[in-house]
């Protein structure tokens, strides 16, 4: 089986005439269609809001598209809070969901009047000490411990997770927050990552809805929202079925009406933080074959590396690859696999491989390769090992045009935080004004 890229070969060849590989390419039309589907799936809940997880993709141009639909931002650091403020978001449009939180993160959240999602009960006095009064609207993160299971088996292991409070700690946390001035409370949990099943959110919702009823009755606080967090995944492999967000929304609605409405809590708003689902399939890493090596295996070397996409190296994660070759027709995504390759980058690490023993069409030097599903946790997890520089980001507009939304790094960027000698500065200036203009990364 195969995946079809959201861009044709001819269009991609044209884009590469303006933007040298490698670069991440994003599909504006796909992002908008998906956002509209999410909005419609939860339209039954008047207070619904998607808080896009900035960590998944912090590019302001992409976040702004979601902002047009009323999305908020889920931030996990002071830097992400700064980005939110720069985009004109503050107050209830911003949520800080962080763990092991530094003082400066809490202080900035207080300045923005952001919703704080407390990860641990000990963070409540810490926040008061470093940031001042408790916000009027707060949330607490729940961890049920043990294993989280659905009918098709174990999904994840919350008991081994560093996130969240126990059920026994939550009532005390709510009372502490209430006594400190909080008025509206939320409940949040993240129990499984990248689930490809329509049952995850409804099952999680039932757990949180029932817990919310118990907490409101026990503590007397007003629970204004329940945050289902992220975990709704995408099918990285072509033989996997994609989640149906409408079926997911309907499953949550049924749980809402069966549990919250009879308890007199029909005004509770539903929040989500679906970073991967919102962006993952609508980005790809475009790279070019630059070397072929035949030793004990057949290798294709490309001009991207794990600095551009670390997931395969870090997790052994699968990302589908389409060969958009020059010599084998308009789109080789449907061509029969004829060779088995390791597709590698140029880092001095043997795990710098986008694919291992992958059956692909015959790859020729110069062929363009599309590495799918990099719209979330792709560029955002980039780094600079070996002094390799992170690539550009390009937006494929709805009208077919393209826009550079982040330029590629240059050596000047890499050395900018260092106190280096004058000779290095001079060399950097020559690169910045000469070689870099010719496309040197």
Instruction: Cite the active site residues.
Output: 348
Pick from 291, 283, 255: nearest CA to 270: 255
Instruction: With both helix axes pointing from N to C terminus, report the angle between 78-86 and 60-67 in degrees, rounded to the nearest 10.
Output: 60
Pick from 326, 325, 353, 324: nearest CA to 341: 353
Strand partners, 304: none
N residues, the chain: 441
Coil vs helix vs strand at 91: helix
**DSSP letter assigned to residue 165:** B
Is the Cα dihedral 391, 395, 401, 407 positive or negative?
negative
How many CA atoms does the CB half-sphere of 121 hold within 13 Å?
14
Pick from 321, 316, 397, 327: nearest CA to 360: 321
Alpha-carbon distance 9 to 324, whole Å?
A: 6
């Amino acid at each position: 089986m195969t995946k079809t890229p959201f861009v044709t070969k001819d269009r991609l060849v044209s884009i590469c005439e303006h933007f040298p590989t490698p670069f991440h390419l994003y599909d504006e039309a796909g992002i908008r269609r998906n956002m509209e589907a999410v909005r419609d799936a939860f339209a039954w809940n008047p207070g619904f809001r998607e808080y896009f997880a900035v960590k998944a993709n912090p590019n302001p141009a992409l976040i702004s598209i979601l902002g047009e639909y009323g999305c908020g931002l889920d931030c996990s650091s002071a830097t992400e809070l700064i980005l939110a403020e720069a985009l004109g978001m503050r107050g209830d449009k911003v949520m800080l969901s962080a763990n092991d939180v530094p003082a400066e993160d809490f202080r900035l959240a207080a300045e923005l009047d952001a919703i704080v999602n407390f990860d641990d009960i000990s963070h409540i006095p810490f926040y008061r000490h470093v940031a001042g009064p408790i916000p009027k609207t707060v949330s607490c993160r729940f961890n049920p411990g043990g294993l989280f299971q659905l009918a098709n088996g174990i999904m994840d292991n919350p008991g081994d997770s560093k996130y969240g409070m126990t059920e026994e700690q939550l009532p005390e946390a709510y009372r502490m927050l209430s006594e400190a001035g909080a008025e509206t409370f939320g409940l949040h949990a993240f129990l499984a990552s990248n689930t490809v099943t329509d049952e995850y959110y409804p099952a999680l919702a039932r757990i949180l809805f029932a817990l919310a009823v118990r907490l409101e009755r026990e503590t007397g606080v007003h629970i204004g929202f329940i945050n289902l967090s992220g975990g709704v995944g995408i099918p990285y492999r072509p033989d996997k079925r994609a989640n149906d967000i409408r079926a997911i929304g309907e499953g949550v609605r049924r749980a809402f009406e069966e549990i919250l409405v009879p308890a007199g809590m029909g005004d509770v708003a539903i929040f989500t933080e679906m970073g991967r689902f919102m962006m993952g399939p609508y980005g790809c890493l475009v790279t070019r074959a630059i070397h072929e090596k035949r030793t004990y295996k057949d290798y294709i070397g490309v001009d991207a590396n794990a600095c551009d996409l670390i997931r395969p190296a870090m997790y052994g994660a699968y990302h589908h690859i389409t060969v958009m070759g020059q010599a084998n027709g308009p789109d080789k995504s449907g061509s029969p696999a004829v060779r088995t390759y390791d597709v590698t980058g140029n880092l001095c690490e043997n795990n710098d491989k986008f694919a291992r023993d992958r059956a692909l069409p015959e790859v020729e030097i110069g062929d363009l390769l599309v590495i799918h599903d990099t719209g979330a946790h792709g560029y955002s997890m980039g780094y600079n090992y070996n002094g390799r520089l992170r690539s550009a980001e390009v937006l494929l507009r709805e009208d077919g045009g393209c826009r550079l939304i982040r330029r590629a790094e240059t050596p000047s960027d890499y050395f900018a935080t260092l106190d280096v000698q004058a000779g290095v500065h001079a060399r950097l200036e020559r690169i910045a004004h000469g070689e870099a203009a010719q496309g040197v990364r």
